[in-house]
Amino acid sequence: MSGADPSYWCPFAWLPPGEVHAGVLVEVEGTRITSVRTGVSDPPAAAVRLPGLTLPGLANAHSHAFHRALRGRTQSVPSGSAGAGSFWTWRDRMYDLAARLDPDLYYELAVAVYAEMVLAGITCVGEFHYVHHGPGGRPYDDPNAMADVLIAAARDAGLRITLLDTCYLAGGIGAPLTGVQERFGDGDAARWAARVDSLRDRYAGAEDVVVGAAVHSVRAVPADQLPTVAGWANTHAVPLHVHLSEQRSENADCVAAYGVQPTELLFEHGVLGPRTTAVHTTHLDDGGVGLIAGSDTTVCLCPTTERDLADGVGPAGALRRAGAELVLGSDSHAVVDMFEEARALELDERLVTGRRGHWPAGALLATVTEVAHRSLGFSDAGLIEPGARADLVSVRLDSVRTAGAEPAQAVDMVVFAATAADVDTVVSGGVRVVEGGRHRRYDDLASRLDAMVRALW
């Protein structure tokens, strides 16, 4: 991939505070936007012309990269399983996959997965990373080898990464890690923090990497260990993410063990707050909604995964009405398409309530641009304005899905009808990484993904 281009001209672009403008010239120096001019009908000859509607780079706030190898392989109930398929039967298959990973295989898979994201217009990913160690939980010679390969893969694919190093200490409330779960654990939160200190030092000053923290869940981190993880994130002023109330059984187990709902437990131990993002929240009660909103905790929903796993539809409408900010992630990568995630937020709420029009299209775009970048520690991204990261995504308005859009309806058309296949050009940090719908470094990406998935199975 070549270096940064000096300027880009867009027939239409979505600019702050959420309006479509015509004839937009975006000038770039290095990784930053230096100026944005509208009404430019005669752009400079050197300007790269972007087709369709140009958006800021999209952010995928929740990813487990290796889950991509499960796509299409978990839709049938395994032979010999009792009852219908569920999250738990899916998890068995996921653990089987996690057992097969090593640093070399994980790099090759992750670079292909991240390149697939870039093709979909994603320029930043939040990687919720917990496969830390080798078989049996034995650390690699470099205890952060698996994190390193994920960061290298993101860089090679052409996106920024927030590596959310995940504390994972128990196999359930009061239960030890067993089997492949031993690869996830560090013994206790203090040893987790010592390992992540080393990782953070390694990438100190990197413009394209944030090393953040994650609590896997109240099932996987005992209550007395939660303050250590939260304290580490607060000390370093980095994002802290946590799986929350994904399953009804998680709530029931938490109440049985601690006498409170998971949201209350996290609140009592300092996990919730302005730098925290709670992932899923599918089965929050009303009190949980209030604690989330009152603590300024962001919520990340993953609609395509939540429906794929039959988890349910979360209280997105109630969270929004309470004042919580929402972002979106592709999680297990059953689908990698942030437009699908965004419209699912609205469409699922329509199914639940029997009413339309809960979020305007621009508000849905914000969940995968400005707000999502902020949840990942990149508050200077997700907007097309001077000083922001030079991330641009052009979406065609002349495909069979988007043809017929007038400029006034362009955002509605993209959010409610476009797919990742309509992304034509992606500029990430000032560099064109996708052109004409093709990744400039990994041209035959489908074959690469096919080879990697087959190698793992």
Looking at the annotation, which residues are catalytic? 280, 331
Which helix (H) or strand (E) segment holds residue 328: the answer is: strand 326-328
Nearest to 277 by CA among 373, 362, 342, 197: 373
Nearest to 213 by CA among 188, 187, 237: 237
CA distance 234 to 257: 27
Query: At residue 313, what is the residue type?
Result: V
Nearest to 285 by CA among 312, 324, 245: 245
CB-CB contact of 124 with 60 (8 Å):
yes
Does 17 sit behind a cis peptide bond, omega within 30 degrees of 0 on the bond before it? yes
CB-CB contact of 280 with 307 (8 Å):
no
CA distance 326 to 191: 32
* Secondary structure (3-state) at 272: coil
CB-CB contact of 236 with 200 (8 Å):
yes
Place of tokens 């419209």: 343
Which helix (H) or strand (E) segment holds residue 59: the answer is: strand 58-63
Sign of CA dihedral 76, 420, 125, 313: negative
| Long-range pairs of 144-151 with CB within 8 A, sequence gap ≥ 24 | 144/195, 144/198, 144/199, 144/202, 145/103, 146/101, 146/103, 146/106, 147/199, 148/103, 148/202, 149/103, 149/104, 149/106, 149/107, 149/110, 150/65, 150/106, 150/107, 150/110, 151/203, 151/209
Burial class (CB in 10 A: 0-12, 13-18, 19+), 4: middle
β-pairing verdict for 240-244 and 276-280: parallel
Place of tokens 């640093």: 103
